[in-house]
Amino acid sequence: MSFIKVDPKSDFSFHNLPYGIFSTQNNAKRRVGVAIGDQILDLRVIKMLFQGPIMSQHQHVFDQPVLNAFMALGYEAWKETRTTLQILLSASESTLRDDFSLRSRAFVPQAEAVMHLPADIGDYTDFYSSWDHATNVGIMFRGKENALMPNWLRLPVGYHGRASSVVVSGTAIRRPSGQMRPDQTKPPVFGPSKQLDIELEMAFFVGGGNQLGEPIPIHKAHEHVFGMVLMNDWSARDIQSWEYVPLGPFLGKNFGTTISPWVVPMEALLPFAEPNTIQDPEPLPYLQHDDPYTFNINLLVSLRGQRMTEAAAICRSNFKYMYWTMKQQLAHHTVNGCNVRPGDLLASGTISGPDPESFGSMLELSWRGSKSIDLGGGESRTFLQDGDEVTITGYCEGDGYRVGFGACKGTILPAVQH
């Protein structure tokens, strides 16, 4: 255990040690930190303590304002860094514990920190990897007989999102305007979206990377998964439904995507790995792997309207419901020779489970607006209203500890007046 006191219900246990980028009021410089309990360990202050064979040559990465340089060092460097952190923070190690001058400079209360995007995100890809979600949406728009497209069970379907509008938790999201066609017998109209939605997702940051033309084989894919965050991929369903044929989502998606600020390393999540979903038909050989890479991560979505004193839970789901794994997503993404780079963000797609309470979007929860989502106190929704605050949380439950992600939060602002 650590000499830093950690509440058993804290997301940031000694078993977690996620990475993030923070600043403070008295020091606006963005720097690399590791969360433990209610504290942040400033790695810039203790960089000289990383004396392993790899990190002793690369201490400068902890001077950077983003994690990209650290992500680029690769799998063995991440493992070495985590081992060093576990030693330095352990109750039996005196180096940091007993140096009160160093401790006073190295630790910052989380309450005093401002969190920033953890990386400079070069590219963002969004997958569509939940069987339950894809089936629900397919039933709504195409009927039960054609719920899944012929390719869905054969490959991880995805599309390229907009990296420039990925924002950190706490950033307000403005209601988008665009073309919609609510009446199929009339021409389209322009205006603010009336069907603004959430999407409960998780995402992983790429580390290492590959050269153009050189795929990442699936048995090496885990070496390029740096860590995971929570994600809300805000969606304007009425804009999306009019525009998405034939090339897929565009303005219905690219106006805003929120992620949580702390990147949980995969080594912290491996104890919560579960057997992968049985895939039928069997995927092609380049997508096959037997090692468990599905994770038991409890997920909660809550919504608080402007007139509500407390947030209401609208979804309880779990990352283990995913059909395609992150290893399969990355192997498929690069099998044609596409190069991925440190800091690229790859998202799961909406995470829905088999039960209505585990549906990861309001599109599903309200079944395309046909029924209300009860929030209590006389409040209900089919889609989001201005002023609504949506919070996603997630954690793995260990024996007396948690490995969590913090919050992924955003509030809806009114549309710009055109």
d(CA 16, CA 266): 9
133 catalytic? Reply is: yes
d(CA 84, CA 62): 14
Query: Which candidate in 15, 133, 332, 333 is catalytic?
Result: 133
Catalytic residues: 133
